[in-house]
Amino acid sequence: MSDDLETPVDPRDLRPGSLVGPWRVLERIDSGSYGVVFLVERASKPEAGPFAMKMAKQAGDPRFEREAELLRRTQHPALPRFEDFGIWISARGDDHPYLVMEYVAGSILYEWGHEEERSSRDVLEVLAQVAQGLAAVHASGAVHRDVKGDNIRVTPEGRAVLVDFGAGWFPGARPLTDTCAPPGTSVYRSPELLRFTWRFYRDDQARWKASPCDDLYALGVTAYRLVTGTYPPPISETQHEEQRELRPPRELATVTPELDSIILRLLSEDKANRGTTPQTVEALEHAALHTRHVADNPIRLLRVGVPSELEAPSRSASSSGSPPPPSRQRSSADATHHATLALLSWAAAAMVGGFVVLIGSKLPSGPAPREESAPSGPPLMAKEVPTPPIETPDAGVADAAMASVQEGPRTGLPVSAIGLAMPKTPLPGQKKPPCNPRSEVVVIGACWSILRIDPPCGAAYEREGQCYMPVFDSRPPPTSEQP
């Protein structure tokens, strides 16, 4: 610790210039449920460049030592390079483990997807890199157990890196939970894991043994979400029930047959049909190299509207308990979540970069539409404007957001399949600060409401893993503005 900085009680209070072992803190760059991430440099060799330091919020958190061990065991370009592991002692005398690794400057996968239009070849190349990283992990006998878009970074040069191994497992690792389900994210869990959990959720001794098949299924969910903007439908409680109606990605977006086939194989309910990790790498690499030129066309939705599969389970699973079977999962909170999505699908169109884009209502059931060719024209997805991090209130604002929506023309222009990015400038008629601090936040100089739903966001806008709705002035907009 530098002479003029006192040791704080909480790691979140570490300030620039603080020393943590041989590392000097440059700035805090992120904070999650379990840890804080800092940009750091070697105090004795700052010219070596910046590194990322993850420090546990809770003293003695075993996830950080586990992640350090996994990264120490496995080195691959698709994984962050391990640098150091140590203990920071707070002013209270608490031991907070920290991990230092390569700093990967890039976007999370889903943000990368809507920074600009992406093609099937782009997606294949990124997925192939992630699969290569998984193959290296699996070859060491370990599993990641939390593969998802939020744990994949893509650099501006196109390098894909799988991060966050805190939930991972390797032979000899101590259990992180006292439930039958391992830590992870529910919507990405394999059918066999979910069915085991539903069957044994009352059994205190039952424990699921994760395998590479679980990681491969999660990679399939990630790919499906990336190219269609939605999650696959929920799994039934037993394999003997009627199989879920999984719509192939090609029916929802203009993906190539090769990419469609790989995603469907990864999402197979029979784990034997998913293949091995090396086979997945080979399939993705072959498709990326040998697919015809149509693979370079941007991915577009085949019809306007958000598929009803948007009504998916929450993406975050509690590590302290197991999800109950589907028959027990319905609650008033679920009903509110689904009602919000249904209302959002009728929200007004918004002006984005000069184009009026409508996210349609819930699609009626019926025969699948015929495949249409990708429409031509300028990109409909503007690149997201970087904005400083903001502290956002956790408020239930769905009703307020819907009350402020104004009707607009309903046009049938195509929507990019991968997401609706935040516009570069405020929308016409959007409320300007001061915003209501109880339910609104300021983004790009205008007022927005944060919705209590997980991406994909339907008719709302997605930014940094949260869904936003614009708040419009209740006053009639002026007919002209000052230049």
Name the residue among 101, 98, 97 with its Cα closest to residue 74: 101
Mean pLDDT within 44-68: 92
Strand order in the sheet with 107-108: 107-108, 152-154, 160-162
* Alpha-carbon span 337 to 330, nearest angstrom: 11
Q: Which residues touch 65 (CB under 8 Å, ≥6 apart)?
A: 85, 97
**Percent of the chain's residues with pLDDT above 90:** 44
The number of helix segments (H) and strand segments (E) in the chain equals 10, 15
Higher pLDDT, 62 or 151: 151
Mean pLDDT within 85-108: 94
Check pLDDT > 60 for residue 479. Answer: no
Domain formed by 107-310, architecture: Orthogonal Bundle (1.10)
145-159, 371-385, 397-411, 456-470: least confident range: 397-411
277-290 vs 120-139: helix axis angle to the nearest 10?
160
- Phi, then psi, of 295 in degrees rounded to 5: -70, -15
Helix (H) or strand (E) holding 217: helix 212-228
**Which two structure tokens, joined as six digits, stand for 115?**
């920074």
* Alpha-carbon span 299 to 301, nearest angstrom: 7
- Tell me how many degrees the CA angle 158-160-164 measures, rounded to the nearest 5: 150
pLDDT-based confidence at residue 21 (cuts at 50, 70, 90): very high
Residue whose tokens read 């799988």:
162
Average pLDDT, the chain: 75
* Alpha-carbon span 208 to 196, nearest angstrom: 7
CB-based burial label for 440 (10 Å; 0-12, 13-18, 19+): buried
- 434 preceded by cis ω (within 30°)? yes
Please, are residues 160 and 130 in contact by the beta-carbon 8 Å criterion? yes
DSSP 209: -
pLDDT digits (tens, 9 = 90+) for 227-260: 999 999 988 776 655 567 899 999 999 999 999 9
User: Which residue intervals of 87-160 are DSSP H helices?
Assistant: 109-115, 120-139
Looking at residue 476, its pLDDT comes to: 43
Look at strands 466-470 and 441-443 and give their pairing.
unpaired
277-290 vs 257-266: helix axis angle to the nearest 10?
170
Mean pLDDT within 190-214: 89
CA distances from 309 to 24, 160, 272, 452 (A): 46, 27, 25, 17
Looking at residue 334, its pLDDT comes to: 42
Please, are residues 318 and 184 in contact by the beta-carbon 8 Å criterion? no
Looking at residue 454, its pLDDT comes to: 67
Domain formed by 11-102, architecture: 2-Layer Sandwich (3.30)
Domain range list for the chain: 11-102, 107-310
**Which two structure tokens, joined as six digits, stand for 360?**
């349609």
Check pLDDT > 50 for residue 336. Answer: no
Check pLDDT > 70 for residue 406. Answer: no
